[in-house]
Amino acid sequence: MSFFLNQYGSQDVSEEKLQIAEVQFDAMCTTFNNILKTCMEKCIPHEEYSEGDLTKGEICCIDRCVAKMHYSNRLIGAYVQSRGFGPSTHLRHIEQFKRDVPDADS
Amino acid sequence: MGYEGFGLDHINPPPHKNAPFKSLTQEQQAERSAELMVDFMTSCPGKTIISGVTGFALGGIMGLFLSSMAYDTPLHTPSPTTSIAGINGQAMVKQFADLPMKQQIRLQFSDMGKKSYSSAKNFGYIGMIYSGVECTVESIRAKNDIFNGLTAGCLTGGGLAYKNGPQAALVGCAGFAAFSLAIDLYMKSEDGKPPKNDFNE
């Protein structure tokens, strides 16, 4: 860790920003993994491959699958955000879960 | 609706993605042109053109070799030297053999060239249509199975025999589709899942 050449050294660490960043990272990571899993299951055959490169059909399938998943994610996210969906309004049961299973929070 | 990235590309765009060509260094320029070339060759029009040109070349070579055997087949189309009305074939052959050697050779080469060119055109069409149809069907269906080859074979065979009537078109379609099926099955016969690990033999 360089104490002299750190360009972000003058900024303070804000707890709120850290939490926001954590939530954003979780959301993006979940979305990405969902897209990855769904499109792999839909587009890439499980029984037989012939070569290591993607074929033309697989390329088209993956392009379309990722575009659809990404667009629908964006749509639903915008809708849900405009309705004020949040942990305090719609996810009250999560506090109970956190109390019941103390080590599940990750 | 197309996918444009998660937004990180908009906030912090990669530096050389859309830079104009002249502003790149030598090796980046080479990289960019190689990318464009590969993109063209794996796209549908590129594949069609490459197949057509390859078919043309192969058909030309095959036509050269087959032209020497053309006198044996009953379907051999008569060359202009034998189709003049009122003169039978033997007289024509005798007249042909009486010409000076250079002219004989020249006539022979022109005959070979015509047959080779027609064979090249035929094979070029076959390659072009088959590859184009298969690539298009595969792009539309977004699946990679044997049905693409069957459709392409049927349309190729039917398209080439179209002028001879509907029955010939159907026969051509069925025949070419069967041929494509055989070749594809043979090429896929060794496909399978990769082994779970490298230890069992």
List chain B residues with CB under 8 Å of A56: 42, 44, 135, 138-139, 144
DSSP string across A1-56: --SSS-TTTTSPP-HHHHHHHHHHHHHHHHHHHHHHHHHHHHHS-SS-BS-SSPPH
Asked whether the predicted pLDDT for residue B5 surpasses 80, the reply is no
Q: Could you say which of B131, B153, B181 is where a domain stops?
A: B131
* Residue B92: Cβ within 10 Å count: 16
CB contact (8 A) between residue A28 and residue B6: yes
The ipTM estimated for the assembled molecules is 0.73
Chain A nearest C-alpha distance from B9 (Å): 14
- Tell me the C-alpha distance between B43 and B136, whole Å: 10
In A, minimum Cα distance to B43 occurs at A56
For residue A15, pLDDT over 70 is answered with yes
Half-sphere exposure of A98 (CA within 13 A, CB side): 8
Question: Where a domain ends, among B131, B151, B180?
Answer: B131
pLDDT band at B1 (very low <50, low <70, confident <90, very high): low
The predicted model scores a pTM of 0.76
CATH class held by domain A18-44+53-100: mainly alpha
Q: Average of pLDDT values for A37-58? A: 89
Query: Do B105 and B178 share a domain, yes or no?
Result: no
| Cα nearest neighbour of B41 on chain A | A56
In a domain, B2, yes or no: no
Taking residues B190-195, what's their average pLDDT? 83
Give the residue from A28, A56, A73, A74 with the most B CB atoms within 10 Å of its CB, the best one to mutate. A56
Is residue A61 less than 8 Å (CB to CB) from chain B? yes
- Look at residue B184 and tell me if it is in a domain: yes
How much is the pLDDT for B54? 97
CA pair distance B197, B201, nearest whole angstrom: 10
- The string of pLDDT tens digits covering residues A64-75 is 999 999 999 989
**Domain hosting residue B153, numbered range:** 143-189
B181 shares its domain with B119 = no
B74 within a domain of the structure (yes/no): no
Per-domain residue ranges for chain A? 18-44+53-100
Which residue in B has a C-alpha nearest to residue A57's C-alpha?
B142
Contact list in A for residue B193 (CB cut-off 8 A) is: 46-49
Percent of chain B with pLDDT over 70: 83
pLDDT at B94 (0 to 100) = 64
Q: Do B123 and B55 fall into the same domain?
A: yes
Same domain, B125 and B163: no
Indicate the residue of B2, B141, B187 with minimum beta-carbon distance to A57.
Answer: B141
pLDDT tens per residue, range B67-115: 877 664 444 445 555 555 445 556 666 666 677 788 888 888 888 888 8
Number of domains in chain B: 2
| pLDDT grade for B138, boundaries at 50, 70 and 90 | very high
pLDDT in tens, A53-96: 889 999 999 999 999 999 999 899 899 889 888 778 888 888 88
How far is the C-alpha of B184 from the C-alpha of B191, rounded, in Å? 11
Share the mean pLDDT of chain B. Answer: 84
Which residue on chain A is closest to B4 by alpha carbon? Answer: A67
Q: Are A57 and B192 an interchain contact pair (Cβ–Cβ within 8 Å)?
A: no
Interface mutation vs chain A, best among B134, B144, B193, most A CBs within 10 Å: B144
Mean pLDDT on B40-60:
95
